[in-house]
Structure 1
């Protein structure tokens, strides 16, 4: 019972036009007052904020400023914080746990708060034989990034778990040039093996292997 209660949480949301996956890295330039306050509070209280992607609402008219968010997101833990100016922070955060967004509400200061249900972390799962090809593709991409000394700007950090379905599927999902809807669909998969199945299909069907290496 206690585990069930503790899986629900109220968190500040940072809506973006991208998707953060667990163990992924996201660099943000913070300058709006609501997010400056949010970052200060997260640093002070050592808490996380939620990254959710903005889903375009084609039915909304231009006067309707309400946003529609994906119902799946990822908690972000601030790792690096550089107050370049009093009203400009450069931050680097990493994804921890996925969550399901139950409902969201905008506060008077403009900050969105979300009631979320935390989802289980991916279980460790070795790469099956049929997916060794995409795991090797990720290895090659990491080698290129390391050889060009770009790891500081990479969407992931050490340790590299290239023998684990969850880690490999998350990194490839971040790197693939696919739609937000597809990325959110991948993030929503609770089984990392199924997520990797879907990614392998995307790479093979769209012949993305060469595109990702160039």
Structure 2
């Protein structure tokens, strides 16, 4: 099992492989992280903060996603905005904190969910997701390409969007495929 060192950006939201997320960067430590990431083209890790958790890494959940920056821009308030795209899931093995407070983690990667073709009894989930994108231009504009025929892609986008608890999302992220998330989605959104 190969380990890698990644800077961590703890957030209250999460991103999964092939997902996209706009992020507002304010703190100096994260500006440094973005500069380093851009120079080395290495990306960084996005992890969820769980305010109810006190685990081995404090409030930081153990599963995250390695992301790459796909766009930079200046926000109306003058702060840095970036869009990132999820690449690979990982599990945190250890965390250290640098002098400026930036968390660095030793991580090992876990296999992303395999692609699965949408079948007839799952198609409505893709249709509802497409409808949601059409209603919300800010989310829709993040995706130039959508893989609505891949139920793994669809499931991951729903997990990112639905107001599930951090522990529920982490439980789904631990899965080796999208089947557990599909069962939950079908319960939350019956046909």
Question: What TM-score comes out, normalization by structure 2 length?
Answer: 0.87
**2:64 equivalent in structure 1:** 73
Q: How far apart, CA to CA, are the structure 1 residues paired with 2:157 and 2:141?
A: 8
**Distance between the aligned counterparts of 2:141 and 2:152, measured in 1?**
15
Equivalent of residue 127 in structure 1, options 104, 112, 118:
118
The 1:98–1:156 alpha-carbon spacing in structure 2 relative to 1, beyond 3 Å, is farther
Aligned partners of 2:133 and 2:139 also within 8 Å: no
Contact 2:13 2:160 in 1 (8 A): no
Distance of 1:59 and 1:75 partners within structure 2? 23
Partner of 1:167: 153
Match of 1:189 in 2: 175
CA-based RMSD of the aligned residues comes to 2.5
Seen in structure 2, the aligned counterparts of structure 1 residues 190 and 130 have a Cα distance that, compared at 3 Å, is: same
Using the TM superposition, give the Cα deviation of residue 154 of structure 1 relative to its aligned residue in structure 2, in angstroms.
Answer: 4.0
Distance 1:173 1:13 in 2: 21
Give, in angstroms, the shift of residue 84 of structure 1: 6.0
Are 2:99 and 1:113 aligned? no
Cα deviation code 1:115-137 (max 9, x no counterpart): 11111122121123322222221
Instruction: Name the TM-score, length of structure 1 as normaliser.
Output: 0.78
Helix, strand or coil for the counterpart of 1:70? strand
Which is richer in helix? 1
- In structure 2, relative to structure 1, the CA distance for the partners of 1:155 and 1:118 (3 Å cut) is farther
| Alpha-carbon distance, 1:202 to partner | 2.7
8 Å CA contact retained: 1:25, 1:154: no
- Rate the CA distance shift 1:31–1:170 in 2: closer, same or farther, 3 A: same
Note if contact 1:26-1:155 (Cα within 8 Å) is conserved in structure 2.
no
Unmatched segments (≥5 aa) in structure 1: 61-65, 210-214
Q: Which runs of 5+ in 2 are unaligned?
A: none
Alignment check: 8 A CA contact 1:165 1:193 kept: no
Q: Tell me how far 1:67 sits from its aligned partner.
A: 3.4
Moved more, 189-198 or 93-102: 189-198
Match of 2:85 in 1: 94
CA positional deviation for 1:68? 2.1
Corresponding pairs, count: 189
